[in-house]
Structure 1
Amino acid sequence: MHIVIAGAGEIGGQIAKALHTVHDIVVIDREAETREKLAQLDVQVLVGSATDVEVLREAKVDMADVFVAATNWDEVNLLACMLAKGLGARETLCFVGKASYMDILNDPRAIEILGTRIDKVLWPQRSLAKEIVEVIQVPGAVDAEVVAGGRLHFVEYRVQEGGPYAQKEIALLDWPEGVFLAGVLREERFIASTDFDFKTLVLEPEDRLFFMTTHPGFDAIQACFASKRSRGVRRVMVVGGGNVGYMTAKELLTRRLEVTIIDHNSERCAWLAENLPGAWVLEGDGTNLELLESEGLDRTDVLVAVTENDEKNLLVSLIAKQQGVPKVITRVNRTENRRLFEHVGIDIPMTPRQAAVREVLDWLLPDNIDHLALIEDRVELMELELPPDFRSRPLSRLELPQGAVAVALERERRVFLPEPNLSANPGDKILILSAREVTDAVLAKVS
C-alpha cells in the first residue's frame, strides 16, 4: 500500500516504524531534522507543510491508499485530510486532541456537510482513558484486555522483587485451571511459551508474564497475584483534570467507585464538579504531599497521574509509591520517558500513542486480521480468521516462528485454550501473541 503520513512526531513516527517494512511510506514534516530522525526506516521524507498542495502532490497523495494526519495541531490535521481526499487519497485518518472536534466530527450534520472527506477520526486520549479503567479493574495487573467477544481475558503481571514467583523456574510453577501462560517479556525480549528455552527460564524481578484465561481462570489468576490490600478497589485518586482525567473519572463513577480528582485550575475544577456528580473535586497541586495526605492518600487503592506534564506525573507517582498506594498508573506523554518511569519503579506507565498506533494498524489490516493489543511496542496480540483453504492441523503444529505462540482458538461461540488434541480448522479464529519483529512471518504462515 502507498501510505502518506503527515507529522513525524510521537504518533506519526511510531506509525511509520510499524509499517515501513511492508508498505510504501511517505512522511511529511516541517522539520528538516526529520530525515535524520527516520534515517533507519525505509521511508521517503518530504520537508514541508501537510497543508501545502504542492507538497501533497509530491507525496503522490492522489495514489495514496491511506492518508494519516498525525501532526500536533488539530486544525492542520483536519485541513490536510480534506485536501488529501480532494486530491484523490482513497482513505483519510485524522488525529485530534480536543474534545470539541470529536463532538463536531461525530455530529451527523457535520458529516453531511463534509461527506466522506475524513474516513476515521482518532482520539488517543479517549483510548488511553479506556485502557486505564480496564487496568484499574484488575487487581495487581499491569495490563488487561477482554477478548473473543468477552469470553476470554488477556492479562499481564509483573514479577515483584521478593514476591512468590521471583527466582522460580517456570517449569516448576503450576497455574490454575483455565489459565494459559503465553510468554514472558524480559527487558527487550519476548520469550514465547513454545520457545526452546522457555521451560528452563528462571523468573526475575521485573519480568512481565502474559496469561490468556477463561472467566473462572481469570478470577483464579487474580488471586495468585493480588495483594490483600489490592484485592478490592474502592477508592481512586486522579491527579489531572484534563480530558483523560475527566473520562477516567466519569467511567469509574459508573462502576460505583469512590473518586477524588485534583486539578490546579479553578475554572476547570468548577467544570469538573458540575459534570462529575458524585466525585470529590479538589483545586490544588497534585504534588503537594500535605494535600494528598489530608485527602486520604494512605487509604487510596489506586492513584492515576494524568496531567500533561511528565515531570509532575512522575513526582506524584513517586509520592504515591512511597506512601504505599498498591497500584499507581502514570501517563507518559513522551515515549522516550517510558523506560525512565519503569526504571525508577513506576507500576504502570501508559502513553496514548500506543493506543493510537494500534487503531491505525487495525484499520489497515485485512478483514480477517485484528490487532487486539500492543504491549510496550514490543509484543502484539492478534486475532486471525483461518481462510477456507486452510489445511486442518493440531494447533500445536501451526509452525509459528520463535517468539510467537497461539494462545486461544475461537470456534463459533466457543473458546478453547491450547491443549495437545485441539485442532485448528478453516473458519476458526486463532489468537496469537508474538514479538513485533516476527509479526510479518506469523501472518505469512497463518493467513
Structure 2
Amino acid sequence: MHIVIAGGGEIGGQIAKALTQKHDIVVIDKDPELRERLEQHDVQFLEGSATDPDTLREAKMDLADVFIAATNWDEVNLLACLLAKGLGAKEVICFVGKSSYMDILTDPRTVEILGTRIDRVLWPQRSLAKEIVEVIMVPGAVDVETLAGGRLRFLEYRVEEKSPYAHRHLKIIDWPEETFMAGVLREGRLIAARDPGFDDLELQPGDRILFTSTPMGFTALQACFAPRGRVRQVMIVGGGNVGYMVAQELSRYRVQIVVVDHNEERCAWLAEELPGALVLQGDGTDTDLLESEGLDNTDVLVAVTDNDEKNLLVSLFAKQAGVAKVITRVGRAENRKLFERVGIDIPLTPRQAAVREVVDWLDSENVDHLSLMEENIELLEIELPSTFRERTLGSLELPTGATVVAVERGKKVSLPNYNQTVAAGDTLLVLSERRVAEDVLARVR
C-alpha cells in the first residue's frame, strides 16, 4: 500500500516505523532534521506543509491508499485530510487532541455534511486515560490489559530490589493457580516462557514479569505483589483532557481524588464537572502545596501536564515522598527511557495506543495488535485460518521470543495447555517480540 503520513513527530514517526516493512511510506513534515531519522528506517521524507496542495501532489496523493494526519495541530490535520481526500486518497485517518473536535467530527450531523471525507477520527488521549485508570486500580501492577471480553487479564509487575522474588530462580517459584507466567522483560528484550533456559532464569531487580490470569487467579496474583489492598487516594497533577478523563473515570470508584492545575479558569470548570473531587489551583511543582494537600497519604500520583520536564520533577518528588505508585505522561518517546532510568514507575505515552489502532486497521484481517510494550514487544490476537492444520499447542513451534498466552475457542477461553489441540477458527493470544512477529504469523498459517 502507498501510505502518506502528515507529521513525522511522536505519533507520525512511530506509525511510519511500524508500517514501513509492509508498505510504501511517505512522511510530510516541515522539520528537515527528521529526514535522517526517518530515512534510516526506509521511510521517504518530503519536506513541506501537509496543507499545501502541491506538496500533497508531490507525495502522490492520487495513488495513496491511506492518508494519516498526525501533526501536533488539530486544524492542520483536519484541513490536510479534506485536501488529501479531494486529491484522491482512498481513505483518511485524522488524529485530534481536543475533545471539542472529537465531539464535532463524530456528531451524525457533521458526518452527514462531510460524508466520507474523513474515514476515521482517533483521539490518543482518551486511550491513554483509560490505560492510566486500569493501572491505578490494580495496585502493584505497572501495566494491565483486559482480554477476551473481560475473561482474562494480562498483567505486568516490576521486580523491586526488596521484592521476595529478586535473585530467585523461576523454577523454584510457585505462582498461583489459574495464572500463566508468559515471560520476563529485561532491558527491552523478551525472554518468553518457552525460550531455552527460561526455567533456569534468575530474576533481577528491574525485571518485569508478564502474566495472563483468570479472574480467580488475578486475586491470588495480586496478593503476591500488592498485599496492601485497594487504592484510596489519587492525586492528579495536570487538569487537561487526560487528567480530567482520569478523574472522571475514577469517580466511579470509592477513591478520593485531588486535581492540581495552574489555570484558574480550567480549575473552575473542573470543580463544576468533578463535584466529588478536590480541585486546587496551583503549580504542580510546588512541593509545599502538594505536601499540604496530603501527598503523604496518596497511594498513586498521576503527572499528566503537557510538559515532560514538569512531569518528571513532580514524579521524582512524589517518589522521594514515598508515594507507592507514580504514573507519568511522557510526550516524547526519547524521554521514556530517561524517566525509567531515574526511577519513575510507569512512564506512559499516547503513542502506544495510536500506533496500535492504526496498525490494526491496516493489518491482515485475522490479526489484532492488542498491546504494545516497550518499542518492540507486542501482544497479538491471531485467528487461525481455514488452512491451519489441527495439532497440539506444544507442537506449534514458535520462534524464540514468542509464546502463546491464551487460547480462545468460541465462548471458551483458557490459559495455555501444551497438550491441548488447536484448530482452524481458534484464536491464539501470542506475546511476541516485533522482530519475530512475521515468523509467528507464518507458522500459524
TM-score range, shorter chain: over 0.9
Name the SS of the counterpart of 1:42 in structure 2. coil
Contact 2:2 2:64 in 1 (8 A): yes
**Residues 69, 94 of structure 2: 8 Å contact kept:** yes
Distance 1:88 1:256 in 2: 51
Using the alignment, how far apart are the partners of 1:54 and 1:369 within structure 2? 37
Q: Name 1:252's counterpart in structure 2.
A: 250
Alignment RMSD, CA only?
1.1
Q: Match of 2:339?
A: 341
2:225 maps to: 225
CA distance in 2, matches of 1:85, 1:174: 57
Shift of 1:28: 1.1
Shift of 1:301: 1.0
Report what 2:286 is aligned to. Answer: 288
Counterpart of 2:192? Answer: 192
Aligned to 2:404: 406
Superposed displacement of residue 378, structure 1: 2.2
Question: Shift of residue 34 of structure 1?
Answer: 2.2
Q: Give, as a single letter, the amino acid of the residue that structure 2 aligns with 1:267.
A: E
| Partner SS for 2:416 | coil
Paired residue for 1:7? 7
Letter in 2 for 1:377: E
* Aligned partner of residue 38 in structure 1, secondary structure: helix
- Provide the rounded CA distance (Å) in 1 between the counterparts of 2:363 and 2:137: 30
Amino acid at match of 1:75: E
Q: Deviations over 1:255-313 (max 9, x none)?
A: 23211101111111001001111111111111222211111111111111111111111
User: Aligned residue for 2:96?
Assistant: 96
Amino acid at match of 1:161: E
Partner of 2:69: 69
Indicate if the aligned counterparts of 2:188 and 2:374 stay in contact, CA closer than 8 A: no
User: Counterpart in 2 of 1:53?
Assistant: 53
Query: What is the DSSP-based 3-state SS (H/G/I as helix, E as strand, rest coil) of the residue aligned with 2:309?
Result: helix
C-alpha contact (below 8 Å) 2:91/2:118 kept by paired residues: yes
2:32 counterpart SS class: coil
| Equivalent in the alignment of 2:241 | 243
Partner of 1:199, secondary structure, is helix
Give the paired residue count. 445
Alignment correspondent of 1:268: 266
Q: CA separation in 2, counterparts of 1:14 and 1:114?
A: 29
Counterpart of 1:12, as a letter, is G
CA–CA distance in structure 2, aligned partners of residues 381 and 365 of structure 1: 14
Residue 17 (1) aligns with residue 22 (2):
no
**1:277 alignment counterpart:** 275
CA distance in 2, matches of 1:227, 1:55: 58
Residue 43 (structure 1) shift: 1.6
User: Residue 370 of structure 1: SS of its match in structure 2?
Assistant: strand
Q: Secondary structure at the match of 1:206?
A: coil
Q: Among 362, 365, 368, which residue is 2:363 paired with? A: 365
Report the alpha carbon displacement of residue 366 of structure 1 after superposing the two structures with TM. 2.1
User: Aligned partners of 2:277 and 2:421: how far apart in 1?
Assistant: 50
Q: Provide structure 2 residue ranges, at least 5 long, that are not aligned to the other structure.
A: none
- Name the aligned partner's letter for residue 344 of structure 2: I
Query: Could you tell me how far 1:33 is from its partner in structure 2?
Result: 2.0
Helix, strand or coil at the partner of 1:142: strand
Offset, 1:436:
1.4
- Alignment match, 1:213: 213
Which amino acid is the alignment partner of residue 285 of structure 1?
D
In the alignment, the residues of structure 1 paired with residue 439 and residue 19 of structure 2 have an alpha-carbon distance, to the nearest angstrom, of 14
Normalising by structure 1, what TM-score?
0.98
CA distance in 2, matches of 1:287, 1:248: 20
What per-residue deviation string (whole Å, max 9, x for no partner) do you get for residues 94-135 of structure 1? 111111111110111111111111111111111110100010
Cα distance in 2 between the residues matched to 1:67 and 1:39:
19
TM-score, length basis structure 2:
0.98
Could you tell me how far apart the structure 1 residues matched to 2:193 and 2:117 are?
45
CA distance in 2, matches of 1:207, 1:378: 16
- Does the Cα contact within 8 Å between 2:144 and 2:154 map onto a contact in 1? yes
Distance 2:89 2:404 in 1: 36
SS of the residue corresponding to residue 198 of structure 2 reads coil
Q: Look up the match of 1:202.
A: 202
User: Hey, what does 2:311 align to over in structure 1?
Assistant: 313
Pick the aligned partner of 2:300 from 279, 299, 302.
Answer: 302
Matching residue of 1:176: 176
Once residues 347 and 227 of structure 1 are traced to their aligned partners in structure 2, the CA distance between those partners, rounded to angstroms, is 18
Amino acid across the alignment from 2:84:
A
SS in 1 for 2:211: strand
1:227 Cα deviation from its structure 2 partner:
4.1
Gap runs ≥5 in structure 1: none
SS of residue paired to 2:200: coil
